[in-house]
Amino acid sequence: MKRPFVIAVASEKGGVGKTTIATNLAVYLKALREDLPVTIASFDNHFSVDQMFALGPHPEGSVANLIEGCPVEELAVLGQYGVQYVASSRRLQPPSHDPAWLRQRVSASKLDGILILDTRPILDWFTEAALLSADLVLVPVKDRAALINAGSLRQIMADAGRAEKLWLLPSLVDTRARLNAEVRVHEFLIYGARERDYQVLDICISKSPKVEGLASGFSSRIRPVLTHARNTSVHGQFKKLAEFVLSNSAAEIFENRSRSDGEDGLEGLPVARRRKLILECPLCCQQSLHADGHFFFDLSSRRRGFIHPDCCDKLFAELELYVSTPDEMLALTIEGPGLVGPESRLTAHLFDADESLVASEELDREKNHLSEGLSMMIGRPLDAAYRELVLVNRKAISPAEQLGEDLYRRFALRRRKIARELRLAGLF
């Protein structure tokens, strides 16, 4: 399966040029390697990525859908300069699962080439997720404060055993500025970074009024350095930066392209059946399409996926409902705060093989393991849910078999009968 080489541009300090670096790097990479797909997405809400790359009508999907579990390759659209981009979102809500989930999501995607992630100037869920997803982290530093703040980013990478992926990049530095008669500012930054045992790029993105002017003016369009500031020193600096990235990513991109597609055995399924397919177990956030699992389906969002058998066993162990046969089905109803008050209410209903209701049990969302994965199943936080019905098949089946024509049609018949039974009983 193809997997993109991921670059995160991150810093806790604002005004260091993260977005300028991320967007222009995308353009220069595409210019140097026209055959290499380059995609960019931003977790910030300033829409600079859209203002540089948007081409045609506004896309329906955005980074918010990526966080909800939609495959990144379905959200990326072709933009200006041959760069693909994922539309930005004004309001992103951090999900309940661990930030490491994003790496699992990107690793399981079919996106090819290079994916650049622009981050917020704070260390939140989204920045940490981008760091943990990255094969290369670029940290722009323009002063002592930015250098000090880089320590928290390095700690996250070190805890993940990947500190060697992080590089500091002197940015927005006036190369003429000096601390004294002998020491220039960018030389001090490089010295200070190496003294703290950082890897530092032998490149400095200079401060340039002309480059700064590309993001201002009467037009809402942001122009790249490559097309509108080629006569500045920054042009050569971005070219060197792109060459550095290509030299570091070439081996991994080749390896990723060498992997065979269709490893999950689902490539022959209808597109509509794969579109809302979640690639990870919602309880442990690990890939779940390569072995037997318990099929789940959310009636509202049409999201579907598989729960690992071990995770499903833990789930049922927490329920008082007695499960006697693998042909039984678990129906989970969620009544959102708009219906019942300040918190959502979770209820589990057990149905037998004939779709008859056996028993129901109200769950404590604070104590039950299930509530941790339900937000991933439905694609939004529980407190944002209104009325949901999620079905979980008690029998573990291979994804290819469950999503095949016969079993998928049988499951559709069962879910309709169960939904009707719950409505007749006033439970949904």
Query: What value does the mean pLDDT take over residues 316-324?
Result: 77
Neighbouring-strand partners of residue 328: none
Neighbouring-strand partners of residue 42: 118
The single residue listed with the structure tokens 């200079």 is 206
Model confidence at 1, in pLDDT bands (50, 70, 90)? very low
State residue 155's pLDDT score. 96
State residue 261's pLDDT score. 45
| Average pLDDT, rounded, for the chain | 86
Model confidence at 34, in pLDDT bands (50, 70, 90)? confident
Model confidence at 262, in pLDDT bands (50, 70, 90)? very low
CA torsion sign, 308 to 309 to 314 to 316?
Answer: positive
10 Å CB burial of residue 289 (0-12, 13-18, 19+) is buried
Task: List the single range of 156-160, 287-291, 379-383 with lowest mean pLDDT.
Answer: 379-383
* Domain spans, the chain: 5-258, 271-424
Structure tokens at 131: 């760091």
State residue 318's pLDDT score. 78
Query: What value does the mean pLDDT take over residues 75-89?
Result: 95
State residue 182's pLDDT score. 65
State residue 314's pLDDT score. 83
- Return the ∠ at Cα 103 (arms to 97 and 106), rounded to 5°: 115
pLDDT surpasses 50 at 373:
yes
Strand runs labelled E in 97-202: 114-118, 136-141, 166-173
Query: What value does the mean pLDDT take over residues 102-114?
Result: 88
pLDDT surpasses 60 at 178:
yes
Task: List the single range of 101-115, 228-242, 324-338, 350-364 with lowest mean pLDDT.
Answer: 324-338
pLDDT surpasses 50 at 339:
no
The single residue listed with the structure tokens 């109803």 is 333
Topology adopted by domain 5-258 = Rossmann fold (3.40.50)
Which one has a higher pLDDT value, 259 or 55?
55
Closest CA to 345 of 361, 324, 357: 361
Identify the DSSP state of 7.
E
Give Dmax (Cα) for the chain.
Answer: 86
Query: What value does the mean pLDDT take over residues 254-277?
Result: 61
Summarised one tens digit per residue, pLDDT across range 53-76 is 998 888 989 999 999 888 999 999
State residue 251's pLDDT score. 61
Alpha-carbon distance of 203 to 186, in angstroms, equals 10
The single residue listed with the structure tokens 């299930």 is 370
Neighbouring-strand partners of residue 167: 138
125-133 and 144-159 helices, crossing angle to 10°: 60
Alpha-carbon distance of 139 to 47, in angstroms, equals 20
Query: What value does the mean pLDDT take over residues 198-217?
Result: 88
Query: What value does the mean pLDDT take over residues 123-144?
Result: 95
State residue 202's pLDDT score. 87
Query: Percentage of residues in the chain with pLDDT exceeding 90?
Result: 51
Alpha-carbon distance of 274 to 268, in angstroms, equals 10
pLDDT surpasses 70 at 217:
no
Alpha-carbon distance of 286 to 71, in angstroms, equals 15
Query: What value does the mean pLDDT take over residues 5-14?
Result: 95
Structure tokens at 209: 């009024």
Alpha-carbon distance of 208 to 360, in angstroms, equals 66
State residue 337's pLDDT score. 61
State residue 414's pLDDT score. 94
Alpha-carbon distance of 25 to 382, in angstroms, equals 38
Report CA 78 to chain centroid distance, whole Å.
Answer: 19
pLDDT surpasses 70 at 258:
no
Alpha-carbon distance of 331 to 355, in angstroms, equals 11
Query: What value does the mean pLDDT take over residues 332-354?
Result: 76
pLDDT surpasses 50 at 260:
no
**Residues 6+ away with beta carbon under 8 Å from 416:** none
Model confidence at 153, in pLDDT bands (50, 70, 90)? very high
Edge-first strand order for the sheet with 77-78 is 77-78, 84-85, 38-42, 114-118, 5-9, 136-141, 166-173, 205-206
State residue 184's pLDDT score. 76
pLDDT surpasses 80 at 309:
yes
